Amino acid sequence: MKSRLHNILKGKFLVSEDAFKNWRMILFLSLLALVMIASSHSADRKVHDIAKLKDEVKELHSMFVEGRSELMRLKKETVVELKMKEKGIYISEIPPTKIIVKSSK
């Protein structure tokens, strides 16, 4: 047992006669480790992108709500009246009348 551990620590299993299968396993495990690391980095990148997009969605939503409230304020009759007074257009004192056209059939 002691000599086996000593041989492993010295690396004799890499230079022995049947070392080819050991090298294949080591290369296979190294390749799997690289794939796992790349996958982990890819997942982290996607998580950061999702967080960034969520922040952007929140910002755009708040801009939308702000624009909608501004539009509702501008559509009020009092605001429209003030804007028209600036341009010299006033509200008519005479109420509108309904014109009814009867067909001649």
Give me the domain span that covers residue 73: 2-86
What number of residues does the chain have?
A: 105
Regions in the chain scoring below 70 on pLDDT: 13
Residue 96 domain-assigned (yes or no): no
Residue 31 domain-assigned (yes or no): yes
Residue-level pLDDT at 56: 98
Residue 24 domain-assigned (yes or no): yes
The structural domain count of the chain equals 1
Q: Is the pTM of this model over 0.85?
A: no
Residue 71 domain-assigned (yes or no): yes
Residue 92 domain-assigned (yes or no): no
**Rounded Cα gap, residues 56 and 59, in angstroms:** 5
Residue keyed to tokens 């992108």: 49
Residue 103 domain-assigned (yes or no): no
Residue 50 domain-assigned (yes or no): yes
**Rounded Cα gap, residues 31 and 64, in angstroms:** 49
Buried b (16+ CB within 10 A) or exposed e, 1-28: eeeeeeeeeeeeeeeeeeeeeeeeeeee
Alpha helices in 11-101 (DSSP H): 19-74, 77-86
